[in-house]
Structure formats: structure tokens, C-alpha cells
Chain A
Amino acid sequence: MKEIQPPAYLTCLINRLIAPHLREQILGDLQERYIRLAKAPGAASARSRYWLEALAYIRPAFIKRQKSEYPSTARRSDPFYNSDMIRNYFKIAFRSLWHNKSMSAINFLGLTLGLTSSLLIFLWISDEISVDRYHANGHQIYRLMWRQISEGKRMAMGSTPGPTSVEFKKKYPEIVRASVFTARSKAMTFQVGDKVGKETGDWAGPEWFKMFSIRLLVGSTETALKAPYSISISRKLAQTYFGNVQSAIGKSIRIENKEEFQVTSVFENLPENTSQKYDFLLPWDDFTRQMPWAKEWGNPSPWTLVQLRTDTDITAFDAKIKHALRGYLGINSKNAKQFDVELFLQPYEDIYLHSETDNGEISGGRIDYIRLLSIVGVVVLLIACINFMNLSTAQSAKRAKEVGVRKAVGADRWRLIIQFIGEALLLTLGAAFASLGLIMLLLPGFNQLTGKAIVMPFTDFNFAMGMLIIVAVTGILAGSYPALYLSSLRPISVLKGILKSKRSATVLREALVVIQFTISIALIIGTFVVHRQMSFINKKNLGFDRENLIYVPMEGALLERYGTLKQELQHMQGIQGVSRMDYQPSSISSGTTQVDWTGKDPSASIEFAQVSVGYDMDSVLKMKLQDGRYFSEALASDSAGFVINEQAARRIGYKNPVGQPLTLWGKPGKILGVMKDFHFQSLREPVKPLIMWFGENNKYGNLLVRTQPGQTRQALLSLEAVCKKLNPSFVFTYNFADQEYEKMYKSEQVVSTLGNYFAVLSIFIACLGLFGLASFMAQQRIKEIGIRKVLGATVIGIVKLLPKDFLRLVFIALLIACPAAWWAMDKWLNGFTYKEQLSWWIFAVTGGSVIAVAFLTVSFQSVRAALLNPVKSLKSE
């Protein structure tokens, strides 16, 4: 007869679930029940009935285990993961940490510092990449980029002609919304009643608030920025000028003491992570009313932002608009060879990080620093991990017996690996908590350094995940090699007491030390070079004197009565000279190709920088003339003349440029003089040809004030008094020329400072590891040193014994790091046209100091070992 058996899997499940002391009875009952059921009404229904029977046993009363009077370590099928063993793992972990206090401290300190720096970098990076990413439509918004190709030269920029947004929205169904944006962050004087202040803002198209997720507190997205003379202000401005948001609506603000604007909407203050910050927005029509040239197609100036339909094929649309501007600019297939304009799209969310262009393509920007710093963060953490690896494997002798015993009683390799990785994770977790505390302390300083407002995002899911991942990766990385190494020990030999450190283990340890030092040396050389370039930039003679120079942006009555202003100022205390210029002399960004001269190649299109200047600019800025003269008040005809720089003279190609004709924007004039080249743009760029034209009576511009050395305060007081007298509503603002100049290199400066800290940190952590290794080596050779001393070795002789091995490693690291650092820094420096050369002594100084530090670290241990009384080290055994 065929044996009738209940379904095996159910039996098996029940067997596992229910408490052991009930098993016999319950399984017996179940089987008997099944067989009897099977005999009676038929097996088919027995089977489903059996299910019911079996499930009836799944209840707490049967699952709950009986408490044994005699707890046994072998109760569970797995004796290595029950609570006693886990408790034992923890106990051993804490004991061994406690036992080797100095090593544990070194590891802990190294990991804490490494984690702190990488977490800080993580915070910085996540803040950087969050910029501008909070708009609901952000993914669909693009900026139209202008790429001009003239004489084979390609140049790209974010400025497009003012009418583009309106025109393109009509023309292309893919564009849902479009808006211009001036991106100028222009400071303007606001006046409400007797409250006066300087505020920064921009001009934008009427669809602005529909495109971007900026909440309107009052007013509607339909009407905001539409009506002429309307203004949209931030909550902050509403509160400053009107007390609260509600009462701001419908009120008027006098701007630049010229025109009244009515508040039609108030928007929520822009979040911290916004790249283009503005406290108010004015309608674009207001901009074109003031600057009619912005209506023309030939004057690219504002950004054009478009929101595309979600189903748009971006590449196809990109191709579609490539030549879209040709028709408006009068470019046809014939003249396109000389001057052509293409359009392409840049995702709005990328603008902040990818702001730089090179040869007509988007080339990078802040993203480069993000990449650089993330490498640094990983590298510093890696150095700390290597410390852990080296110190744990070096000390393997101490744990070897434990491994032997564990293996002898049945632990397999995996369990040991997990045990040791677990220990590393434990230490890392501790270090993580310490570093969180450290970050809390450092964050204010870090924010000041980077100009950010990062807060600890404890409750943020991403931060928690990031933290968890960093801790897990660090712990596993640090623990993996020691775990693999220790778990590979053979119980027979370690229990016998034979523990020969394998050659391969030593080689690996040395290789790891070399890696640590290579990285540290490369980092130090890198920051050294960046630092030198920065101080080169700071000290560079720009061709004009930026010390004791103040810029004051002029407006309203100051411009109208410039002559009086200049007259009065010149007699005030502390002021040496006064002139004007429509840009700041270190950032003249406006260019033109509409320059003509006799003998110009008619097909050539050369871009000249242009700036308007007032009388005495050369003496106020302390510039030098190469040839001819500067604009002179004595000769009225000078106002139609031009002063050019050497570069311009070269490009124009006159033999004796002074007195020769030159036409700018169709206005003919004569070249009065040639100014020596000065740096009016970033040092990354070569000096471009520049034309200075006479603009004593222009309607915009900066006042340039040369102060007496050491009398800046007095000069500022005089300046403010005179400005207030001429224009009572004027909000006095000023900039120091040297500070403005340094601002241009802000991100380099920040990275250079951060780099300094991290480089010092990395070498410190690396030396910590070296210190630990040296102390371990000294301890290992303590008997040898004792015997040597007994036999008459001198202290010096013994001190020399230890460092040799380590210094060899540092030398190898130096040999690897120098060429690598040279290559990388050469590439970086090539970004600057004006730069400090890489010279050999940078490498020599870095190498020398690293070797010295390493030598001191190791010698400390060897001196200690050498001074030890041999009686002490030899008395036992």
C-alpha cells in the first residue's frame, strides 16, 4: 500500500515554527489527523482540510519557546550568531580597542578627521548641486545660448537679443512659456516716504512667475510684471518698506529718484540656493523704455529662458533653432562665413554649475571645483582607511591566537571576516558620531569660508543616507583587508606560536604607505601652486594702481552735476584725484566689432573692448601712456578723439597711430594716444584691444576716486558729504578697487583655502599612521635594540636603525607624486594667460618638508626605543 503522507512542506513549516517541546505531540496529531481524514471522505478534501489543521497550529501558544532551566550555548542551530556570541564579539572588540589604546586613538582620530572632511565636502557639494533645482518646471526650462563664429573664432555666451523670447514663443509650438531675464543684479535706490535704501533686482518678462516656482504672496501670476511702471518685490522688501506684505500692494516706490513704480505683487523671499538673487523684478518693457537698444536684434544682452513642452525632443529642437537668428541678423549663406550666429540650449538647472564657455562650447565652471573637492574628500578618507588597515595588520600577532582558537572551535572564515569588518564598522561609527560633533563646531567657520549658509540637515533623508553610505563604505574598506588577512591565518601555526609575517603582507603595507604619501604630497604641491597663483594675482601689477582707489556708482543728480561733483571733491581732504569710467577698470566687459580705420580688411570682424572715460582718468588710475596724449580739457576737439591700448594699436596696424583716423559706431575721430596695456579683464584672458572714448557727460558710470594713502576714512567722509549734498536721496555705496578685484577670483580663493586645510589634514593623518607603524616596529624590535645596546651600540646608531625603511617609502611616494602633480597643475595653470611658472623648488620644498615631517615622526619613536634601558626590555622571558 502506498504510504499516505501529508504535504512535506507544511510539515516542515510547522516543524520549524512550533516550540521544540511540543513538536512530537503536534506533528503526531497532525499526521494522524491527516491519515484519518484521508481515509474517510477522500484525499482531495483532506488536503485542503489539512491546510486548515496546519494553520490552526500557527498561534503564539505553540510558537512560544519553553524557557529552559539550563541555558545552553548550543541551543540554536547556529552557535555563532546567537546573542551570546554577538555579545562576545562586542566584548572582544572593546577589549582589543582598550588594550591598544594608542593605536585605537590613532585610528579613531584619523577616521574622525577623514570623515569630518569628507562630510563637510559632502555638505558643500550637496548644497552646490541643489542650487536652482527647486522649480517644478525646472527640467523643462532652458536658456538660449548665443554662439558667434567670426573669422573662425567661436565664442558662446548666455546673452541673446531682447525680442527673442516673444518672437520665438509665437514661432515655435514647442515653447510653452518664455521670458527674458537681465541677470544683472542691478543695485538701485528705492524710496518710500522717508525710507531710502539700495536694493538689487532685475528685469523679467510677464511669464516669469508662471515658469518658475516662486510663490506670489499677493498678486496673480497673470498680471505680475505686465503693466508698465509695475514692480514685484520680495517679502523682505515689502516688510522693510511697508511693514507687511498685505499693505505693500498698490503702493508706489520711487526708484533712482526718477520714476514711481506701483507694487502689483509680492513674492516669497528667494531660497538660499538660488544663483541669480533679486529682491525685486521690473517688467522687461520698462528696461526697453530706458534702453531702446535692447529692442534691437543686433544687441544681445538679456537671457532668454524658455519652457519647452514635456514631450519635446530636445536634440531636434536644438537643431531647429540652430540658425533661427540668421534671418533677424541679416546673415545669409554668403556672409555667414565671416560672421555667423548659432543658438543652442542649456538646461536652466545647469547654468550655475556650468557657467563657463570655451571656444563656443560650455566648458565647465563650478562643476570643476565640485569634482576636485569630491576627489579630495575621497582621498582624505582613503588615507584614514589605509591607516586602519596598516595598523590592524601590523598588530595581527596580537589577534592571531584569538583567530586560532576561534577557528579551532569551529568558526569558519566568513564568520571571522564579518567579525573583523564589524569591529572596523564599530570604530567608524564611533568616529562618525565624533565627526558630527566636530562638524557642528566647524560649520560656522566653514560657512564663512565658503560664503554659504549650510545647516546640519539632521532630519534630511538624503543626508542620513549619505552619512550611512559613507560610514558603511569607510568601515568596510578599512576593515576588509585586515579581515581577509587575519581570517586567513592557519590555526595550527598560530596556536603553535609561529607567526611569520608574510612577505606579501609587508609589501602591501609598504605599498599602502606609499599611496598615502603620494596622495598627500600631490595635494600639498597642488595647493602650493594654487596658492602661489593666487598671490601672484593679488600682487600682479595690472597696469593701474588699485590701492587707495574707490569706486562709487553714480546715479541721478550726481550724473547730471558731475562737473560740480568733481570740482568739489578735488578740494576735499583725503582725495587726490577724481575721474569717471562707465565700468570698473578691472572688469570692462563690453565689446564691439563696429570699428573702422583706413586700410581695414573689409571682411575682417575684430572685436574691440570699449569703454567711455572722463578727464584725468590716466592720472587717477596711474596709467602710463605709450605714445601721444590723453583727453585734455584744454582742447575741445579731444572729445571726438580716442585713446587706444597697445594691443588695439597692434591690431589696427598703423605705423604711427597717434593722429590717425578711427571710426567707432560710425563716428569718426582721431587717435589721440596709445595707453600701455592694462588688465581690464580676468587674468585668465589675454589683454584684448581696447578703445576708450570720451564720456565726461554720459548718463551712467562709476566715479573713480584716488585717495591719499592712509586717509581712506577721511576721504570716504568727504565723498559721502558731497554726494549727499548734490543728491539728497542718494544712498551712498562704494567699493574698494582691490576688493572688487579679489572678488573676481572668489571661487579660486575658496578652493585654495579649502585645499590648504585638506592638504594639511591629509599629511597629518598620513603621519599619524606612520607614527603608529613606527611605534609598532620599535616595539617589535625592542629585544633586538636591547641586545644591541648591551653589546655596545650607541644611541645614534640605534636611532638610525628605524627611519631608514620608512624614509625609503616616502622617497618613492615623492618620485610618483611629483610628475603627477606637475602634470595636473600645469594643466590648471594653462587656464590662465598670466601665471606664475611651475618651478622646481616648489617640488623640492614640498618634498623636503614632507620628508622632514616623516623623519621627525619616526625618529620620535626610534629615540624612545633607543633610550630605553636594556634591562627593562630584556628582563622578561
Chain B
Amino acid sequence: MRRSDLGEFEEVVLLAVAALSPNAYTVAIAEEIERETGNVVTSGAVHAAMQRLEQKGYLRSVWGEATAERGGRRKRLYTVTALGGRILEESRAVRNRFWDRIMPAIRLEWS
């Protein structure tokens, strides 16, 4: 696994896209991440991350419908590609394996 390919923020964005599919688009994802993390997330940052993910082949996008809210402009809907999905799975597996190896006593100390 080439972990350097996926930054932390990118991973969050990728997860958010997967969670919001098939209605994942910039503004929605930015709001979702903001709600989940409590940090300020601009749509520009999300957009940039998604652009990179798309280049890497983890995301795919198509034009969606236009809404009045957007001043009659279309949104771009993103979906996770199979490659993207596999990367997410892998990263989750790595984490899980480590989680599993943490002794319960230590986790007790944290709480």
C-alpha cells in the first residue's frame, strides 16, 4: 500500500464522498465534514482535495442538475471508484489491525 498517496484530509474527503453517495458534491461534503469534525472546512479546500483524488483515480465525477440556490449553475457529483474503495478498505484494515493489538488495559488508561 502506498500510504503517501492519501493524505489525512484526502482520506476524510474520500470517506465523506462514499458516505454521501450518490449525492456527494463539494458544498455538501464541506458541510458534512464541518459537522463531523467541528473544524472550519472551506468548499475550496474540499474541491482541491477532490481534484487531486480524481487525478489519482480514486474519484469520478459527472455533471449533476442545476439548482436555483446555485444561481442556475450545475453541481458536479462525485463517486468513489473501485480503486478508491480498495484504498479506503486497505487503510481501514491497517488501522483495525493496530486497534486490535492495543491492550484493553491501555485503552482503559485513556478514558
Binding site for B on A (CB under 8 A): 24-33, 35-36, 52-57, 59, 61-62
Q: Is B100 an interface residue (CB 8 A)?
A: no
Please indicate the chain A residues that have their CB under 8 angstroms from the CB of B93 in the complex: none
Given contacts A31-B71, A52-B42, whether A36 and B31 have CB atoms under 8 Å apart is yes
Is B75 interfacial (CB 8 A cutoff)? yes
Cβ-closest 10 pairs across A and B = A56-B44, A28-B73, A56-B42, A28-B70, A57-B44, A32-B70, A29-B26, A31-B71, A32-B69, A25-B76
Shortest CB distance B109–A (Å): 39
Q: How far is the CB of B38 from chain A (nearest CB, A)?
A: 14
A-B contact pairs, 22 of them (CB 8 A): A25-B47, A25-B73, A25-B76, A26-B47, A28-B66, A28-B74, A28-B75, A29-B25, A29-B70, A31-B70, A32-B27, A32-B67, A33-B30, A35-B69, A36-B31, A54-B44, A56-B43, A57-B44, A59-B44, A61-B51, A62-B47, A62-B48
Report Cα–Cα, A62/B42, bound state, in Å.
14
Asked whether, in the complex, the Cβ of B73 is within 8 Å of the Cβ of A24, the reply is yes
Assembled-state Cα–Cα distance A26/B45 (Å): 12
Residues of B within 8 A of A55 (CB): 44
Inter-subunit contact B44/A27 (CB<8 Å): no
CA distance A31 to B26 in the complex (A): 12
Interface string of B52-95 (1 = CB under 8 A from A): 10000000000000110111011110000000000000000000
Which applies to chain A's interface (DSSP): helix, strand, loop or mixed? helix
In contact, A29 and B47 (Cβ under 8 angstroms): yes
CA distance A55 to B43 in the complex (A): 11
A56: B residues at CB distance < 8 A: 42-45
* Interface magnitude class on chain B: 20 to 34
Q: Is the CB of B73 within 8 A of A27?
A: yes
Partner of B48, one of A32, A35, A61: A61
Question: Is A31 touching B48 in the complex (CB atoms < 8 A)?
Answer: no
List A contacts of B105 (CB < 8 A): none
Tell me, in angstroms, the Cα distance from A28 to B68 when the chains sit together. Answer: 10
Q: Most chain-B Cβ atoms within 10 A of its Cβ — which of A26, A32, A61?
A: A32
How far is A35 from B69 in the complex, measured between Cα atoms in Å?
7
A25 and B75 contacting across the interface, CB-CB below 8 Å = yes
CB-nearest residue of chain B relative to A35?
B69
For B51, the chain A residues whose CB sits under 8 A away are 61
In chain A, what residue has the closest Cβ to B30? A33
Closest residue on chain A to residue B71 by CB atoms: A31
Report A-chain residues with C-beta under 8 Å of the C-beta of B43: 29-30, 33, 53, 56
Residues of B within 8 A of A53 (CB): 42-44
The answer to the question of B40 belonging to the interface, with a C-beta cut-off of 8 Å to chain A, is yes
Supposing A36-B27, A52-B42 touch, asked if A29 and B48 sit within 8 A by C-beta, the answer is no
Q: Could you tell me the distance in whole angstroms from the C-beta of B66 to the nearest C-beta in chain A? A: 8
Contact between chains at A27 and B42 (CB < 8 Å): no
Cβ distance B69 to chain A, nearest Cβ, rounded Å: 5
Roughly how many angstroms separate A407 CA and B67 CA in the complex, as a whole number? 45
Q: Tell me the complex Cα distance, A26–B75, Å.
A: 9
> Nearest chain A CB to B75's CB is how many angstroms away?
6
Q: 1/0 per position for B31-46, CB-CB distance to A under 8 A?
A: 1000000001011110
User: Closest residue of chain A to B73, judged by CB?
Assistant: A28
B74 & A33 in contact (Cβ 8 Å cutoff): no
| A residues in contact with B42, CB < 8 Å | 52-53, 56
Assess the B27–A29 pair: CB atoms within 8 A: yes
Q: Within 8 Å CB of B30, what residues of A?
A: 33
Question: Which residues of chain A have C-beta atoms less than 8 A from B67's C-beta?
Answer: 32
CB-CB nearest in chain A for B49: A61
Which A residues touch B44, using CB under 8 A? 26, 53-57, 59, 62
| B41 CB, min distance to chain A CBs, angstroms | 9
Alpha-carbon gap, A61 to B49, bound state (A): 10
Contact A52 B40 (CB under 8 A): yes
* Residue picked from B25, B52, B69, most chain A C-beta under 10 Å: B69
Please give the distance in Å from B45's CB to the nearest CB on chain A. 6
Residues of A within 8 A of B69 (CB): 31-32, 35-36
**Partner of A25 from B26, B31, B40, B71 at Cβ < 8 Å:** B26
Q: How far, in angstroms, from A52 to B44 measured CA to CA in the complex?
A: 9
* A52-B42, A62-B48 as given contacts; A27 in contact with B26, CB under 8 Å: no
Compute how far the CA of A29 lies from the CA of B44 in the bound complex, rounded to whole angstroms: 9
